[in-house]
Amino acid sequence: MILKDKTQTSSASIKLDAGIKQEHGVAFYLRRAYKNSDQVMVLNDLRIEHDGESAQIDHLIVYTYGFIVVESKSIRGEVVVNEQGEWSRSYKGQWSGMPSPIKQAELQLKLLKQYLCANTEKVIGKFLGIQQGLGARCYDVFCAISSDAIIDRTKAPKGIADKLVKSEFVTDALDKKMNFKKFYNVVGKIYDTRPTFNRDELHQICHFLLGNTQQQANDALNEAPAASPVTKNAEPHAFAMPPKQPYVAANKPLAKPVQSTSISAQCKHCGQCSGLTAQSGRYGYYVQCASCGGNTPLKRPCLSCNSQNTKVSKSGLLYQLICQDCSNKVDVFKAK
């Protein structure tokens, strides 16, 4: 079941646009496989915040036995992973190192687990007075790479090689990892000791994740909407089926955007919030990441009214986002 769809966006940057298309491609395969599933919930572009840290997850799978983070990575050319798990890529015949998207996904998953475990009672409540745990659930990651990339994993550690898949095979890898037992496989079910979530708990968890952090689409932070029309009946944040049980948290409306005085700039490519330096260019102000070298524009939709009619102004070391429609003003970055 798709509980948060991928936002339709595009970019004037060829590199950013390639990443957006890759995420859309993976979201397409996830929709095809799980849109009618009651055991698998898909949340695209999920943002979580916990203990002063934040993470933007490309695709989160919440299923009967646990959680899987899927990181989308657009790569043209060849990718090599060595014995130490270090990544290299070729582009137009030139080789260079690159951050490991597997490590990035693992850091996102770690923060997700900490966030859920710290809010266990809010997430799934108590059963017969005994609080159920979330730490013993299954937590896994995958990296879905562009279909036209060439992956050399011959020297990669098995634990990394098994997590690398091309986009069209991502649901095959997910199905194998989730390992749902067929209804007629009685022996398999008996020996499957994984703790499970029921259907209502799955909805409760997803509602908590969507409603407790203001959601911003990863690639929609600073880019204009794509020209392709959005279906009138589309509800990207709405549940396809409401929970049957009257959980108090599940009946609360999803959090609505509120006016904020400041928001943190975050690298769109690797998720870093530190090591960013302000720059200006042809398309306005942006920040450059010291970790991956990627650029992220500071312009984004208004957090108050969601209008695209915004601009970024600079006053000394402070950068502010100003909405031309509702006049809402927020700090988006402060240079050091």
> Tell me: the pLDDT tens digits for 78-99?
999 999 999 999 888 889 899 9
Q: Please, are residues 129 and 57 in contact by the beta-carbon 8 Å criterion?
A: no
How confident is the model at residue 262, as a pLDDT? 53
State the chain's mean pLDDT as an integer: 79
Q: How many CB atoms lie within 10 A of CB 254?
A: 13
In 3D, which of 136, 100, 123 has the Cα closest to residue 50? 123
Alpha-carbon distance 76 to 24, whole Å? 16
How confident is the model at residue 83, as a pLDDT? 93
Dihedral (CA of 11, 16, 20, 21) sign? positive
How confident is the model at residue 125, as a pLDDT? 67
Higher pLDDT pick, 47 / 211? 47
How confident is the model at residue 119, as a pLDDT? 85
Q: Please, are residues 10 and 227 in contact by the beta-carbon 8 Å criterion?
A: yes
Phi, psi of 132, rounded to the nearest 5 degrees: -80, 145
**Cross-strand partners of 330:** 321
How confident is the model at residue 230, as a pLDDT? 39
Q: How many CB atoms lie within 10 A of CB 203?
A: 25
Contacts of 78 (CB under 8 A, 6+ apart): 89, 90, 149, 150, 151, 152
> Mind listing the pLDDT tens digit for each residue in 120-161?
877 876 554 445 577 778 999 999 999 888 999 999 999 999
Alpha-carbon distance 287 to 278, whole Å? 4
List Cα–Cα distances, 86 to 82, 153, 159, 218, 293, in angstroms: 6, 11, 13, 25, 17
How confident is the model at residue 57, as a pLDDT? 94
Q: Please, are residues 226 and 61 in contact by the beta-carbon 8 Å criterion?
A: no
Higher pLDDT pick, 301 / 274? 301
In 3D, which of 10, 7, 8, 14 has the Cα closest to residue 295? 14
Structure-token match 């990544």, residue found: 87
Q: Is the pLDDT of residue 10 over 50?
A: yes
Pairing of strands 53-63, 130-131: unpaired
> Mind listing the pLDDT tens digit for each residue in 194-249?
888 888 889 989 999 988 766 654 443 333 333 333 333 444 444 444 444 444 44
Average pLDDT over residues 293-309: 81
Structure-token match 């330096």, residue found: 277
Q: Please, are residues 287 and 298 in contact by the beta-carbon 8 Å criterion?
A: yes
Of the pLDDT bands very low, low, confident and very high (cuts 50, 70, 90), residue 293 is confident
How confident is the model at residue 88, as a pLDDT? 93
